[in-house]
Amino acid sequence: MVDENENSPLLTSEIEEEVEEITTATANDGDTAKHVRTKVPEVEIHLFRQGKGPIVVFKSALGGWEQDQLEVGDILEKHGLKTVFAFNHQTRVRGVPVRFNPRNGRSILTYRDGAVVYLDGEPKDSLIKPITRILIGVAIITLMIVIVSRETPEWMNKFNFSPGNFSPWVLACVVIVFTRMRKRTKIFYKARLVNGLVASVV
């Protein structure tokens, strides 16, 4: 007859080994599941600027409910662009503009995880160009007035920069520049406000 006390240590050690194996397997499965849940889909972007480049190559996480939309708004703001186009890097030919939702900045089209995307960006307009055009326009108008009048106007001969006696063309130039700057400032702050609201909602 077998003594029960002799079999007890063997059974206990076998049970402990099985419990350890189950615990280890459960922990490994939990780590794998956690790793899968935290994996964010992303694409590799080769960004060109007016056909030149690529100026930068980077990874961009996909957003949206299905995590398959490109964060176009963030790319535009970060790289100072007003729009981006699909781009064929072999033929150096632009495609259609990448459309996106103005509310959240995400692309209308979807992208798969791990895709390589080639984009060509159009930079934002500089303030120097509009001001230069305005000054050239004012100078041309002033020159035309001088030519038509056949003689130099008296106000041009008496040109000075005293606060109480500005020449009309200088005053007109100041008004135009001020108007343009005010308009661009309003657009800038409006865009910042929209981006802030979108960020707070997201």
For the chain, 202 residues long, the average pLDDT of each consecutive 10-residue run is 48 53 55 57 91 88 88 89 89 89 89 91 74 72 63 56 51 66 60 48 42
Same domain, 175 and 197: yes
Same domain, 154 and 183: yes
Same domain, 108 and 136: no
Residue 27 lies in a domain: no
- In this prediction, residue 171 carries a pLDDT of 60
Same domain, 109 and 142: no
Same domain, 114 and 91: yes
Same domain, 141 and 82: no
Residue 19 lies in a domain: no
Residue 138 lies in a domain: yes
Look at residues 104, 123, 142 and tell me which one is the last residue of a structural domain: 123
- In this prediction, residue 135 carries a pLDDT of 73
- In this prediction, residue 1 carries a pLDDT of 46
Look at residues 102, 123, 144 and tell me which one is the last residue of a structural domain: 123
Look at residues 98, 123, 148 and tell me which one is the last residue of a structural domain: 123
User: How many domains are contained in the chain?
Assistant: 2
Query: CA–CA separation, 156 vs 159, rounded Å?
Result: 5
End-to-end CA distance of the chain: 74
3-state SS of the chain?
CCCHHHHHHHHHHHHHHHHHHHHHHHHHHHHHHHHHHHCCCEEEEEEEECCEEEEEEEEEECECCCCCEEEHHHHHHHHCEEEEEEEECCCCEEEEECCECCCCCEEEEECCCCCEEEEEEEECCCCHHHHHHHHHHHHHHHHHHHHHHCCCCHHHHCCCCCCCCCCHHHHHHHHHHHHHHHHHHHHHHHHHHHHHHHHHHC
Same domain, 91 and 112: yes
Same domain, 72 and 90: yes
Structural domain of 133:
128-201
| Total-model pTM | 0.48
